[in-house]
Every structure is written in C-alpha cells, then in structure tokens.
Amino acid sequence: MSLKLISRGVLTVALAAGIASAQLLNSKSMDVVRVEKVGFSAGRIDSLTQALALQQFQGKKVSDETMAQVRFAVIDNLVGQELVRLECKKQGIKVPAARVDSLATLFKKQFPSEDVFQKQLKQSGQTMAQFREKLEDQLKSEELLKKKVPYPKDPTEEEMKAYWTLNKSKVPVNDSISGVRIYIKTKGKSAQDVSDTKDMLKGMAAQLRSQIRAKKVPFTYAVQLFAQQAVQNSDDPNAKKTGGAMLTTLKGNGAAFEKAVAKLNVGDISDVYNDKDGVAIFMLTGKNDGKFESYRNQIDTGLRMQAEQERQMKLKAYLDELAKVYKVQYLDKKYTPPQAIGGK
C-alpha cells in the first residue's frame, strides 16, 4: 500500500480543497471514520479524494476502482496523521518556532503572491494561526517518525554490485538503447536563428548536466525534467505524447546521431547534433550492453523502491500499534480501506 504520512503534498491538497459547510442532517456531514474524538466526514474525505485525484491524474477520467484506491489512501493519511499527532502530544514533542516559520515561508512560495495565498487560506476556512498549527503538527510528526520509522539510507556501492551479481544473468544483451530527444526544426531559418537554437539547446543540456553531476536531482527525476522540456519545446509531433522517448539502436538514426551518442554513458546528455531538417540533443536513459555501469541508475532506483516499500510496511505496523492505544473506528464499509489502520 502507498502511505505517505504528513507529506507537504497532502497539506497542499488539504489547504486547496476547501470543504463547504454541510447541513447537519446531510449524510455527507456524518462521521464515517473516527480517531478518538476526532471525526472525518464523508464530505471531507470525498472532497480531498477529488482534489487528490485531480492533482495526480491531471484532470483525466479516473475509473471507480482507481477512485476507491485514492479514497482509501486519503483515509489512511487522515487516520495516520491523527494517530501520530496524538502520540506526539502524549510524548510532549516540541519544535522551534523558527522551523515553523521556515516551512510556512516555503509553503507560501508555491503561490503566485501573498494575496493569492491568503485568499486560498480563507476559502479553506482556516486562520493563519490554524494553518501554522498544522505545520507545527507536521514537523512534530516528522520528528517522531524519524525515530520510530527512519527513512532508509542510500544504497551503498557494495549493495548495488551485489544486486548486479545476483541479477545480471537475467539481463538481455543487444544493441538497443533508449533515451529522450529534444528536436528543433531549423529548415528555412537564418544562420543566426540556427545558431541561437543551438545555444538554447546547449544551455538546456548544461543546466541539467550540472544538476545531475552535483546530485541535486535523482536520475529518474532528471529524466522527467528532460522529458518535460521535450514536451514543451520539441518540434517532434510525437513529443507531446511520448515526452520525446525513443527506443532505437546506435546506428538507427544516421551518422550524426551515432557520433553524438556513441560515447555517452547512461544518464549523459549529448552535445547538439544535426538531425533531419533540424538539430537535437539526446539523453541516454538505457543501454543493453551487459555492463554494470549501464544499469547503475536502474539498480539504484530499484533498491531505493525496495527499501521504501519495507519502510512503508514498518510504518503500517507502527500505526497499527498506535491504533491499539488510541481508538480508531470505521463506521461505513465504503470508507473502510482493505487492511485499514487498526482494522481487524
């Protein structure tokens, strides 16, 4: 299960959702889940579910089954947050006001202006004091979870090589490569326009290279950033659907492509090269040559995902223990997740 407690993403949804007050007799206002004296109504859960689905799926139509999974994730978050909040209160955990100030400032930067933030805050029915209290609860929760369910450490070189030794026999070896291309048409443009286009691509590549080398972004996120640039800037008609993704061979796209890509390692970005009626840059994301270095990023990502899954299991077990201390009630089958926190 996916359970990311006290995340800023959830806080964003909680602030942005804004739940209108319902009539007392409206079933949507009735509690369907309770943790001690704190109740969560169907209306609140449904509103957060809609907002989270909109955020995650970018307005695309979502099946009833998927919406149910989103709803269960919302419920897990709400129940988990409240259990952790109660335990923080019991343990008397405190955080400096300066940390709350810093997080509030970071959160506000997600909005175009202070006025927009204040308007959104008002629509959510919160005061600034209540908003700060939620941020403080988040920071306290993070302190508790650091001790009880710490985040996994980065995979070591030894762990990565051990994983490779166990699995390298399963890897197919062939001449295929994968990557992301950003292509710009230059046919009919002036020499100056072509030069400016090349400079733009050089700058784009240099910026992302520096972030990767400084380890400011993980590999998977770097690929996403490059693909976003392809969607926004590439003249390839398929780029908006594919994000510029390509599965090809080294010799499958002409001599200029082969020369630009031949010496790249996985994760590298090529220099600008000539393409059909244009110029391009290419990020190599996969190479099936059977060498450890070509699979390093995949191994790193895989080990991180495995470690996070193990952490999520430990987190669920810890929350189940808290649910033995603090009473959790699920009052409606529709709002009872499979393997619910504190469930029988």
55-69, 86-100, 131-145: the lowest-pLDDT one: 55-69
319 and 205 belong to one structural domain: no
CATH of the domain at 235: 3.10.50.40
| Longest Cα–Cα distance in the chain | 73
2-6, 81-85, 229-233, 329-333: the lowest-pLDDT one: 2-6
Mention every residue, 6+ apart, whose C-beta is less than 8 A from residue 338. 72
4 pLDDT higher than 50 = no
Q: Average the pLDDT over 82-105 and give the result.
A: 95
279 pLDDT higher than 60 = yes
Is 159 part of a structural domain of the chain? no
Number of domains composing the chain: 2
Residues forming a β-bridge with 333? none
Check residue 27 and give its pLDDT: 60
Is 297 part of a structural domain of the chain? no
Q: Average the pLDDT over 97-114 and give the result.
A: 92
146 and 183 belong to one structural domain: no
Alpha-carbon gap, residue 218 to 200, rounded angstroms: 24
Check residue 71 and give its pLDDT: 95
Amino acid at the residue 243: G
10 pLDDT higher than 50 = no
SS3 content of the chain, % helix, strand, coil (to 5): 60, 10, 30
CB atoms within 10 A of CB 245: 17
16 pLDDT higher than 70 = no
Q: Average the pLDDT over 182-188 and give the result.
A: 95
Give percent of the chain above pLDDT 70: 92
User: Under a CB-based contact definition with an 8 Å cutoff, are residues 5 and 141 in contact?
Assistant: yes
26 and 100 belong to one structural domain: yes
Q: Average the pLDDT over 7-25 and give the result.
A: 36
User: Under a CB-based contact definition with an 8 Å cutoff, are residues 56 and 70 in contact?
Assistant: yes
> pLDDT per residue over 32-44, tens digit each?
999 999 999 999 9
Q: Average the pLDDT over 73-87 and give the result.
A: 96
125 and 204 belong to one structural domain: no
Alpha-carbon gap, residue 49 to 13, rounded angstroms: 9
Alpha-carbon gap, residue 229 to 211, rounded angstroms: 15
Check residue 210 and give its pLDDT: 86
Is 86 part of a structural domain of the chain? yes
Q: In which element (H, E) is residue 215 found? A: none
Separation in Å, CA 113 to CA 32, 66, 118, 120, 213: 37, 34, 9, 11, 33
Per the prediction, the chain carries an average pLDDT of 88
DSSP string, 253-302: T-HHHHHHHTTPPTT-BPPPEEETTEEEEEEEEEE-SS-HHHHHHHHHHH
74 and 203 belong to one structural domain: no
CATH of the domain at 76: 1.10.4030.10
Check residue 3 and give its pLDDT: 39
Give the domain extent around 223.
172-289
CB atoms within 10 A of CB 3: 19
Q: Average the pLDDT over 283-302 and give the result.
A: 93
238 pLDDT higher than 80 = yes
Selected residue with higher pLDDT from 302 and 27: 302
Is 233 part of a structural domain of the chain? yes
Q: Average the pLDDT over 271-297 and give the result.
A: 94
15 and 147 belong to one structural domain: yes
> pLDDT per residue over 198-215, tens digit each?
999 999 999 888 887 776
266 pLDDT higher than 90 = yes
Check residue 277 and give its pLDDT: 92
User: Under a CB-based contact definition with an 8 Å cutoff, are residues 295 and 169 in contact?
Assistant: no
